[in-house]
């Protein structure tokens, strides 16, 4: 028989400990976000559809993006037991300098359209976290503005080759003069991919008010208030705007980009230079033979050629061929710290996040970017501890199996 008694008030009150309410709405919603997916959900609620879809979307049927994300889900970890990892060290050396975490912020264009703090929020958060920040050629904050937001941290610059070569050369010189230490020379954008969400939304730069955008803006007045009461958007490379993002890219980019352009840029850039957008082993080997400092395996977040190779699938093959000779990095589809850990285990020296940081930005400005970085940091530390490794150097290919859904047919 169970002995029952009438509960004493003191015992009941001991169980009823209410958390002090937080009156700061931004902090409250960000604290409730436990994953990058949670930040994405907040961002979608708070951002007009056209701006959100520009960030969230990809090219054509968005197959490349879906496959990239699926590839990270289709892994199996192999932990070592009875190997204490009480103090996990997430720091690394990348391209001649330190990073407190094995990821940095990737270049993203038109960032202040997502949320008015834009690149300044990303650069400031990166500096506070001790990780690199990359400014895009199509950024909406100047090179000097990013340096001011992250004066003591590591700033990288992503360069497109423009039809007007002097524009590209001038940007590279300005970035070098501002102390940016690494140049990401992007090679996967001779023309713009077909961003169909942007077409369907009538998304243009600057945003054009239509009946649809007005209706969509009604439940999001704070976004329009920020947009209309802050300084006008300024682009690092475009002197005029007007049209869809694809139209602007096609007007600015040069489809004749070649290895000769790489030679010219290398001759004027004093720091490290990495090639962003490598998508096969042969190109990786040729670039290493040319002596670049690193390569980034990337299909531009699925925003260029749909059905392009999945960088995470390509990673072990490239590392096998050139991993001893150059720095191999990876982006596209990273939404969890476990994705980063798996990439490092399979030989990547570093990773880059784009959408994950922008979801945080849209969810809460600078504080949202801080939250995104903190979420990924927590997931990295937890995954490493559960694998039984205390440092990134201890991660090995044996810790990860890539499960296969897409098996290539034999070629004739």
The pTM score is 0.92
Q: Among the residues of 218-268, which ranges form H helices? A: 221-229, 245-252, 259-268
Cα–Cα distances in Å, from 281 out to 98, 274, 284, 311, 348? 28, 16, 5, 11, 14
H or E, element range at 273: strand 272-278
Q: Does the pLDDT at position 203 exceed 90? A: no
Place of tokens 């999945």: 310
Give the pLDDT score at 308: 96
Give the pLDDT score at 326: 96
Q: Does the pLDDT at position 225 exceed 80? A: yes
Catalytic residue positions, numbered: 300
Give the pLDDT score at 252: 73
Lowest-pLDDT choice from 110-114, 137-141, 213-217, 227-231: 213-217
The dihedrals phi and psi of 345, each to the nearest 5 degrees, come to -60, -35
Give the pLDDT score at 200: 85
Strand pairing class (350-353; 103-105): parallel
Lowest-pLDDT choice from 22-26, 154-158, 278-282: 22-26
Percent with pLDDT over 70 in the chain: 94
Q: Does the pLDDT at position 232 exceed 90? A: no
Q: Does the pLDDT at position 234 exceed 90? A: no
If phi > 0 it is left, if psi is from -120 to 50 it is alpha, else beta; for residue 300 that is: left
H or E, element range at 104: strand 103-105
pLDDT band at 177 (very low <50, low <70, confident <90, very high): very high
Lowest-pLDDT choice from 7-11, 37-41, 311-315, 347-351: 7-11
The dihedrals phi and psi of 159, each to the nearest 5 degrees, come to -115, 125
């Amino acid at each position: 028989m169970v002995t029952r008694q009438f509960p004493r008030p003191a015992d009941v009150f001991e169980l009823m400990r209410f958390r002090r309410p937080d009156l700061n709405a931004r902090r409250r919603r960000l604290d409730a976000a436990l994953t990058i997916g949670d930040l994405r959900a907040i961002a979608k609620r708070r951002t007009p559809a056209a701006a959100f879809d520009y960030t969230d979307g990809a090219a054509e049927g968005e197959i490349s993006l879906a496959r990239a994300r699926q590839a990270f889900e289709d892994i199996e970890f192999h932990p070592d037991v009875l190997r204490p990892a009480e103090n996990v060290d997430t720091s690394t050396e990348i391209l001649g300098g330190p990073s407190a975490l094995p990821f940095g912020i990737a270049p993203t264009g038109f960032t202040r359209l997502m949320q008015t703090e834009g690149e300044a929020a990303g650069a400031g958060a990166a500096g506070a976290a001790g990780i690199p920040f990359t400014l895009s050629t199509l950024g909406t904050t100047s090179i000097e503005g990013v340096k001011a937001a992250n004066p003591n941290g590591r700033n990288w610059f992503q360069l497109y080759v423009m039809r007007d070569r002097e524009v590209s050369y001038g940007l590279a010189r300005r970035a070098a003069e501002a102390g940016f230490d690494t140049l990401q020379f992007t090679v996967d954008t001779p023309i713009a991919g077909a961003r169909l969400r942007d077409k369907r939304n009538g998304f243009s730069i600057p945003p054009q008010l239509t009946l649809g955008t007005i209706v969509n803006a009604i439940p999001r007045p704070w976004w329009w208030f920020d947009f209309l009461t802050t300084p006008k958007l300024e682009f690092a490379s475009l002197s005029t705007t007007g049209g869809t993002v694809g139209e602007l890219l096609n007007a600015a980019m040069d489809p004749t980009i070649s290895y000769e352009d790489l030679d010219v840029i290398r001759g004027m850039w004093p720091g490290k230079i990495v090639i962003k957008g490598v998508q096969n082993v042969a190109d990786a080997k040729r670039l290493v033979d040319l002596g670049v400092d690193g390569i980034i395996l990337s299909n531009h977040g699925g925003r260029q050629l749909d059905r392009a190779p999945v960088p995470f699938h390509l990673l072990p093959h490239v590392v096998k061929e050139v991993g001893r000779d150059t720095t191999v990095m990876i982006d596209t589809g990273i939404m969890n710290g476990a994705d980063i850990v798996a990439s490092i285990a399979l030989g990547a020296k570093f990773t880059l996040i784009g959408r994950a940081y922008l979801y945080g930005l849209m969810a809460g400005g600078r504080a949202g970017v801080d939250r995104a970085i903190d979420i990924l940091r927590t997931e990295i530390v937890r995954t490493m501890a559960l694998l039984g490794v205390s440092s990134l150097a201890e991660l090995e290919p044996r810790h990860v199996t890539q499960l296969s859904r897409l098996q290539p047919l034999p070629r004739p």
